[in-house]
Structure 1
Amino acid sequence: MSTKSTLGTIKRVGAILIAIAIVLAAGIVVGQAPAIFGVEEDPEASIEFEDQQGTGENVTIEEVTLSDGGFVVITDGGDEPLAVSDYLEADTHENVTIERAEDAEEDLVGQLTATVHRDTGGDGYAYEETEGEEDRPYLEDGFPVSDTASVTTTVDDDALSDSFTVGSISAPESATTNDTIEITAEITNPTELAIQQNVEFRLGGTVLEQQALELDGDETREVTFRIDTVGAPPGEQPIGVYTEGDGAITTIDLEFHTDPAVEVVDAGDENVTVDAAIPVDGFVGIEDENGSLIGTSDDLEPGEHDNVTVEFDEDTDVDEDEELTASLYEGESDDDEPTPFEGEDGDGVETTFTLADVADGEDDEE
């Protein structure tokens, strides 16, 4: 074999080895792409909050997992939290005890909701203080990650022993989100004296109606609530009837009352007006023909919304014949990576149009 042939063979073997090394290195880089290139995964969380007895001073979360760390916030349907956990590192935590806030006016009893919040400010929990700008809840399918539990007290003081009791609760198993449902509860005055107390109805942890009830000693009476479900999120929701120190809870399966949809009704150089039906917390976004988001509406609650305005971003120049797409999104409109809403078939809910078509009274729904 000549020297030239030998050198050629060595070069070919060397080239093959280099190629193999490049492929292996590429595999390592791809496997580490999120860490190397700064691609962030959507934050995730889960929580298990079981029914329990307590003193009213604290509650225990059976298990909570946070991908980015944060807090667990306890509420009873009011505007202010009753308790907030210490900061929790990104991990799974078991048997987390949360103490009642010092300025909380109510004990931790009744139907309570535990919601997992992120720590976006880095200076302690500040969701209410910043009007929702910081420390927002973790989301799953567009809804805050939360769980509800019925917390009863082991304390037998006069205030609680004099509380009306809830003997039973009767409610429909299912309804739609534009229904009126009827819930009946059996309320008893366990004392020998005539007493007046409030009885309240909660859907998903939110107080929707309250009735003042006066009962004679040892009297039992049925109380009926007629509740409008418009605006309630679809899915299995906890419902309950509560007195000062007692309550009963069941669940109802709420089905969104119409098909998710978005329809363009007007459009101009600065904004687009749409009608939207969305079953989750979300918003409407406008995309250009390259798929870039060029405008968003205000945040929308679950339900039907007429004449929603979607403002184009500043310095956006849209040609009247450019094909645009109006789509439903989950979550909040200022999310860094908004998530398109998907229907039961897994497809997005959107409609395409041009400014010229809308001016002529036309748009193409998909």
Structure 2
Amino acid sequence: MSAKSTLGTIKRVGAILIAIAIVLAAGIVVGQAPAIFGVEDDPEASIEFEDQQGDGESVVIGEVTLSDGGFVVLTDGGDEPLAVSDYLESGTHENVTIERAEDAEEDLVGQLTATVHQDTTGDGYAYEETEGQEDRPYLEDGFPVSDTASVTTTVDDDALSDSFTVDSIDAPAAATTNETIEITAEITNPTELQTQQNVEFRLGGTVLEQQVLELDGDETREVTFQIDTVGAPPGEQPIGVYTDADGAVTTIALEFHTDPAVEVVDASEENVTTDVAIPVDGFVGIEAEDGGLIGTSDELDPGEHSNVTVEFDEDVEVDDDEELTAALYEGEPDDDEPTPFEDEDGEPVETTFTIADVAEQEDAEDEESETDA
């Protein structure tokens, strides 16, 4: 082999070794990218932070998912966070409200960034106080998981100063869904002028009653609402009293006033009539012997309903002696996969019948009525 050929071979081998070194070095840098930002990239997170209007005291994160739990931290480009969420457990959380820190000097307005942090200490958020050694951000492709939104304020100081204020609200902690409850609110006119404004009561976000209130300047007065809970959904419900630009909110635990039930009161080859007590939005479904739905009622609000009619589907033929089932369902009648309603024991609320048995029972009741007459 000539000296020239040997020299060319040495150069090619050297170039290959240099290329390998570059690739290895690049791999090391890429592999260390998470370490540059202070966390491992095994934990996963995502966040959705939409543009919104607020009062400067809080913002709402639309959705955040954390594989190992942690916090959402709000910043505006400064060194210190403006606010930190409560600890969030592993999983997906929607509509997470984050309150401004008590010692924060700035309102939660402007261009804000929400970053998802881990909880490595298990003892509250500690990223700043440990100089970034603990509770570091989740990473995606080597960068902190975050989202930025524009938050504008809805507070109009002039409007708020002219509005009646709701100083307090007094309401029962619990009630049933078939009674009248009394709610008392203390309302103040903060201006020096006699003013008339609307005061409204809401249950679960729905306005149930409004009163026109006239107050002298600096006057405070109690306003009482008598609210009928019939038709209200059971469970923990928000209740509130609101003026033009102020309000107060509390909660009430509503218990359904009776046991859920469905009773067949009439039946024919075309339809079935039922009496219903249902604590959720739902409907009555008629099931054939094979379990398939052959008819559904209109959607029902929570409460008691008399003479709920269920028409059989057009292509359905039912024998008088065929065993049918009337059952309660949650949701809407046109759901592709309707969900049977279950009671507190996890049992479906239903009753079986035949058209012949219902007719026989009606005849017996008619004869008994005639005898009594």
Q: How high is the sequence identity, in percent, across the aligned residues?
A: 79
2:223 maps to: 223
Cα separation, partners in 2 of 1:65 and 1:258, compared to 1, 3 Å = farther
1:175 maps to: 175
What is the SS of the residue equivalent to 2:361?
A: coil
Deviations 1:270-304 (A, max 9, x none): 10000000000000000011111100000000000
* Letter paired with 2:183: I
1:201 maps to: 201
* Letter paired with 1:253: A
Residues in 1 aligned to 2:94 and 2:264: alpha-carbon distance in whole angstroms: 48
* Letter paired with 1:201: F
1:160 maps to: 160
Residues in 1 aligned to 2:251 and 2:273: alpha-carbon distance in whole angstroms: 37
Residues in 2 aligned to 1:94 and 1:297: alpha-carbon distance in whole angstroms: 33
* Structure 2 residue 336 is the aligned partner of structure 1 residue 328: no
Q: How does 1:91-102 map to 2 (within 5 A)?
A: none
Deviations 1:202-256 (A, max 9, x none): 0000000000000000000000000000000000000000001111100000000
What is the SS of the residue equivalent to 1:356?
A: helix
Displacement of 1:64: 3.0
What is the SS of the residue equivalent to 1:191?
A: coil
Deviations 1:320-365 (A, max 9, x none): 0000000000000000000000000100000000000011117xxx
1:252 maps to: 252
Structure-2-length-normalised TM-score:
0.59
* Structure 2 residue 288 is the aligned partner of structure 1 residue 273: no
2:369 maps to: none
1:357 maps to: 357
* Structure 2 residue 29 is the aligned partner of structure 1 residue 54: no
What is the SS of the residue equivalent to 1:361?
A: helix
Residues in 1 aligned to 2:55 and 2:318: alpha-carbon distance in whole angstroms: 60
* Letter paired with 1:268: S
* Letter paired with 1:350: E
Structure 1: 5+ residue stretches without partners? 1-46, 67-90, 98-152
Structure 2: 5+ residue stretches without partners? 1-47, 66-90, 98-152, 363-373
What is the SS of the residue equivalent to 1:158?
A: helix
Cα separation, partners in 2 of 1:235 and 1:55, compared to 1, 3 Å = same
Residues in 1 aligned to 2:94 and 2:323: alpha-carbon distance in whole angstroms: 51
2:72 maps to: none
* Structure 2 residue 297 is the aligned partner of structure 1 residue 264: no
Q: How does 1:1-366 map to 2 (within 5 A)?
A: 53-54=54-55, 60-64=59-63, 155-361=155-361
1:34 maps to: none
* Letter paired with 2:55: G
What is the SS of the residue equivalent to 1:309?
A: strand
Residues in 2 aligned to 1:242 and 1:216: alpha-carbon distance in whole angstroms: 19
Contact 1:203 1:238 (C-alpha < 8 Å) held by counterparts:
yes
Cα separation, partners in 2 of 1:64 and 1:198, compared to 1, 3 Å = same
Contact 1:63 1:92 (C-alpha < 8 Å) held by counterparts:
no
Q: Which has the higher helix share?
A: 2
* Letter paired with 2:333: S
Cα separation, partners in 2 of 1:358 and 1:251, compared to 1, 3 Å = same
Displacement of 1:95: 7.7
Contact 1:202 1:209 (C-alpha < 8 Å) held by counterparts:
yes
Displacement of 1:315: 1.3
* Letter paired with 2:292: S
Deviations 1:40-88 (A, max 9, x none): xxxxxxx99xxx95279xx94324379xxxxxxxxxxxxxxxxxxxxxx
* Structure of larger gyration radius: 2
Displacement of 1:161: 1.2
Structure-1-length-normalised TM-score:
0.60
CA RMSD of aligned residues (A): 2.7
Contact 1:189 1:216 (C-alpha < 8 Å) held by counterparts:
yes
What is the SS of the residue equivalent to 1:346?
A: coil
Deviations 1:163-186 (A, max 9, x none): 000010000000000010000000
